[in-house]
């Protein structure tokens, strides 16, 4: 089977699983992303572990899971608006004490280059656990629902998948001008622009179908996914190039690792969260 069909089957399977989880149970969705968070952290720390860097792999993974689970509890608590407003930032505050614990743990580890070890441990928590935790707020009970599914969450996933897929397919067939050759030689301006246009068209169409969310919110969501999602892809490519590897893992046939598949969300999710938080939509 060619890599294209392997990639397609894996991608469609993941779309089906996530949409089914969102539709039938928010808890199932949360559990799936808890697993994704743990696997992503373990994968990240595994990539950067070498003779010169020894991140606190077990602690970093546990700390990320704690942040995620605490966020899950918070977003399910029924509070008044002011309390919800204040608690919504707890997932951004929680990493602070967890981060400083890494300094203490490093004292008791007999490993070289402690500054690198601490820095990479903290990086994993901020880069992976925090963005995935913020996704939970997109599915809370106060958001707009359509056909039994939270609109912002499904729209976010849909735009991410559409942008990634269209940019990949169009760029593969018609791409000539490199988007950022120093970091990712295969990505092209043609593919990125085509993905952006189709994503914006989809957002406009959804604004007529689901009228509870204004068109400017749909377009803002699409633009945030396009701009920061594209940069998320480039950031992960930058990491892989610096480590001289092609894929972050092999757990997803045709895609590589967890980070390869969810890289666009790691940078875009915090910006989407901030936008809708300020709009009082989550």
| Model confidence pLDDT, tens digit, residues 114-146 | 999 999 999 999 999 999 998 888 876 456 776
Sorted by sequence, the CB contacts under 8 Å of residue 9 that are 6+ apart come out as 253, 254
How much is the pTM?
0.87
Q: pLDDT value at position 142? A: 54
Domain holding 11, by residue range, is 3-278
Count of the separate structural domains present in the chain: 1
Q: For 69-86, write each residue's pLDDT tens digit.
A: 988 887 766 555 455 555
Q: How confident is the prediction for the chain on average, in pLDDT?
A: 84
Q: For 1-47, write each residue's pLDDT tens digit.
A: 556 667 677 767 777 888 788 888 778 889 999 999 999 999 999 98
Phi, psi of 164 (to 5 degrees): -60, -50
Confidence of residue 267 (pLDDT cuts 50, 70, 90): very high
Shortest CA distance to 44 belongs to which of 104, 36, 105, 180?
Answer: 36
Q: Tell me the average pLDDT across 226-231.
A: 94
């Amino acid at each position: 089977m060619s890599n294209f069909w392997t990639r397609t089957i894996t991608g469609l399977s993941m779309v089906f699983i996530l949409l089914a989880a969102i539709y039938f149970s928010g808890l199932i969705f949360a559990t799936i992303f808890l697993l994704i968070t743990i696997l992503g952290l373990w994968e990240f720390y595994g990539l950067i572990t070498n003779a010169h860097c020894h991140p606190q792999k077990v602690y970093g993974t546990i700390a990320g899971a704690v942040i995620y689970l605490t966020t899950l509890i918070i977003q399910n608590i029924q509070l008044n608006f002011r309390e919800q407003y204040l608690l919504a930032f707890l997932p951004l505050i929680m990493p602070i004490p967890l981060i400083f614990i890494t300094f203490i743990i490093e004292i008791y580890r007999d490993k070289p280059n402690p500054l690198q070890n601490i820095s990479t441990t903290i990086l994993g928590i901020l880069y992976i656990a925090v963005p995935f935790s913020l996704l939970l707020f997109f599915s809370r009970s106060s958001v707009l629902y359509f056909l039994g599914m939270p609109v912002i969450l499904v729209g976010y996933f849909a735009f991410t998948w559409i942008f990634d897929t269209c940019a990949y397919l169009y760029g593969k067939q018609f791409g000539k001008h490199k988007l950022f050759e120093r970091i990712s030689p295969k990505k092209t301006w043609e593919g990125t622009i085509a993905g952006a246009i189709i994503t914006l068209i989809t957002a406009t169409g959804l604004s007529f179908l689901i009228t509870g969310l204004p068109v400017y919110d749909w377009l803002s969501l699409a633009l945030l996914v396009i701009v920061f999602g594209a940069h998320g892809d480039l950031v992960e490519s930058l990491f892989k190039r610096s480590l001289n590897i092609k894929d972050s893992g092999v757990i997803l046939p045709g895609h590589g690792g967890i980070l390869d598949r969810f890289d666009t969300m790691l940078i875009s999710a915090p910006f989407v969260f901030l936008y809708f938080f300020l709009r009082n939509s989550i």
